[in-house]
Structure 1
Amino acid sequence: MRNLLLMVQFMTRYPIPLHIDFTVERFVHGMKWMPVVGLLIGVPSALLAMGLYSLVGYEAAVLAGLIYQICITGGLHLDGLADSADGLFSYRPRERVLEIMRDSTLGTNGVIALCLAVLSKYVLLQSLSPHGGFLALASMPILGRMASTWHAACAEYARKSDGMGLFVNKTRPRQAMAAFLSSFFILCVVFFVSGISLQMALLLLFGLNALCISGGFFLARYVTGRIGGITGDTIGATIELTEIASLFLYLFIWNIYL
């Protein structure tokens, strides 16, 4: 339980009135709880949107859900996406890319990536029916955080210094597989409660999990080829990009069954 609470403290802004010693072993063991952290982000945002739906309409309700997710994570993963875009799209040598990614100044590529990420999520969510949109809002944070464990398990840390590298280099496929099983079980429950058909639920379960696992893996391969490994920023970028990809698949599958 302490490992889960540590992940909640690290990945969200939920107030946890408990001091938990931050150790590499505890953090690595906590990686299997990443989908649960996603559940704690996604379900409240979906419930907020559902509560506002009858008052302000679907589009505004979905926007409120997205804003909730950004606020409760402190924009942590969006920051990683922006820094990754600034560095990787600078097309500079490896060491310079890593310097740009560490720089807190936001560049043009980062601004573009931020805007496109938020806009893409909003457009894809409002393209779904309310039932599908609320379900996607609840489950995409689960999938994104599951993908991040595969991203961390499939590559070494790019920098020689400690910090994030201490846990990245100790994350193994067994933590990623545990996160996948956790994600699969949680989504089974979410889809059952939502009342969608068994056929659609199975398509979503296998399609979304496969998409996000492969997304985490191939993003790790890509950045390893560019900068020799992954960073905390690319982990955040993986969460954001796989969430967007999952929404595309949601929309595709949902439209098939309309």
Structure 2
Amino acid sequence: MRSFLLMLQFMTRYPIPLRIEFTAQRFVQGMKWMPLIGLLVALPAAIVFAVADAVLGRELGAIAAVIVLITVTGGLHLDGIGDTADGLFCCRPRERMLEIMRDSSLGTNGVVAIVLAILLKYIFLHNIPATGALLAVLAAPVLGRMALTWHSAVARYAREERGIGEYVNRTGPAQAVAATLVSLGLVTGILFVGGVPAVLLPWMVLGLHLPPILLAILFAAYLKKHLGGITGDTIGASIELAELLSFFVFLLLWTFLI
């Protein structure tokens, strides 16, 4: 339970009135709960979306949901994708890339990446037909945080220092598989309650999980080549990218399959 609460404190802005020591063991144990953290991030966004969609229309519902997703996490993962874009697209040596990613100031590439991430989420969510949009709001954060476990499991930390790298380097395939099993259960439940036909359910669950896993692994491989590994920023970026891809997959599934 403490490992779960630790990750909830670390990944969200929910007020948890407990002081929990941040240890490598708890961090690694908490990785399997990442999909559940994603569901807790998604729930208030889904409630706001459902109300705004019914009362004010899909446009305001979609943007309201995106705003709530950002608010619950404090923009933590958007900061990651912004810093990652600044570093990767600076066309400098590896050491300089890592310095730029650590810099608290945001450059042009980072601003563009953040704006595109928000805009694309809004566009995808706005265009997902019928009830698929609400299910996407619930499931995409689950899939995004499941994907980060694979991103962390297949690469080492890029910087040679203590801190979060010490924890990330202890995350392996066992934690990623455990998180995936949790995600499979949660997403299956979301789709089942959402009325997805039983004959389509296993194929849709599989189709929603494979793309973000593949993206997370390929992104980590790219970073190993160019940065020598992953960082806290790229972990945040992997969540945002996996969420975007999940929204897009929902759009495809509900447009052509449901």
TM-score (norm 1): 0.98
**AA of the residue aligned to 1:81:** I
**AA of the residue aligned to 2:74:** G
Deviates more, 1:123-132 or 1:196-205: 196-205
Work out whether residues 43 and 139 of structure 1, in 8 Å CA contact, stay in contact via their aligned partners in 2.
Answer: no
Structure 1 match to 2:52: 52
Work out whether residues 58 and 130 of structure 1, in 8 Å CA contact, stay in contact via their aligned partners in 2.
Answer: no
**AA of the residue aligned to 1:11:** M
Q: Distance in 1 between matches of 2:170 and 2:139?
A: 27
Q: CA deviation at 1:65?
A: 1.0
Work out whether residues 129 and 251 of structure 2, in 8 Å CA contact, stay in contact via their aligned partners in 1.
Answer: no
Work out whether residues 129 and 255 of structure 2, in 8 Å CA contact, stay in contact via their aligned partners in 1.
Answer: no
Query: In structure 1, the residue corresponding to 2:84 is in which secondary structure?
Result: helix
Q: Distance in 2 between matches of 1:170 and 1:206?
A: 27
Q: Distance in 2 between matches of 1:200 and 1:236?
A: 31
Structure 1 match to 2:252: 252
**AA of the residue aligned to 1:28:** V
Which aligned pairs between 1:1-258 and structure 2 lie closer than 5 A?
Answer: 1-258=1-258
Query: In structure 1, the residue corresponding to 2:131 is in which secondary structure?
Result: helix
Q: Distance in 2 between matches of 1:102 and 1:76?
A: 14
Q: CA deviation at 1:57?
A: 1.0
Query: In structure 1, the residue corresponding to 2:21 is in which secondary structure?
Result: coil
Alpha-carbon spacing, 1:116–1:87, altered in 2? closer, same or farther (3 Å):
same
Query: In structure 2, the residue corresponding to 1:135 is in which secondary structure?
Result: helix
CA deviation profile, 1:202-233 (whole Å, cap 9, x unmatched) = 23210111111111111100011001000000
Mark the runs of 5 or more structure 1 residues left unpaired by the alignment. none
Kindly report structure 1 stretches of 4+ aligned residues shifted beyond 3 Å.
none
Q: CA deviation at 1:2?
A: 1.0
Work out whether residues 81 and 237 of structure 1, in 8 Å CA contact, stay in contact via their aligned partners in 2.
Answer: yes
Q: CA deviation at 1:53?
A: 2.0
User: Identity across aligned pairs (percent)?
Assistant: 51
Q: Distance in 1 between matches of 2:35 and 2:89?
A: 29
Work out whether residues 204 and 250 of structure 1, in 8 Å CA contact, stay in contact via their aligned partners in 2.
Answer: no
Deviates more, 1:197-206 or 1:219-228: 197-206
Q: Distance in 1 between matches of 2:218 and 2:230?
A: 12
Work out whether residues 42 and 139 of structure 1, in 8 Å CA contact, stay in contact via their aligned partners in 2.
Answer: yes
Mark the runs of 5 or more structure 2 residues left unpaired by the alignment. none
**AA of the residue aligned to 2:79:** D
Q: CA deviation at 1:201?
A: 2.6
CA deviation profile, 1:94-131 (whole Å, cap 9, x unmatched) = 00000000001100000100010000000011011241
**AA of the residue aligned to 1:173:** P
Query: In structure 1, the residue corresponding to 2:150 is in which secondary structure?
Result: helix
Considering only aligned residues, what root-mean-square deviation do their CA atoms show, in Å?
Answer: 1.0
Deviates more, 1:192-201 or 1:125-134: 192-201
**AA of the residue aligned to 1:76:** L
Q: Distance in 2 between matches of 1:224 and 1:110?
A: 20
Query: In structure 1, the residue corresponding to 2:41 is in which secondary structure?
Result: helix
Q: CA deviation at 1:52?
A: 2.0
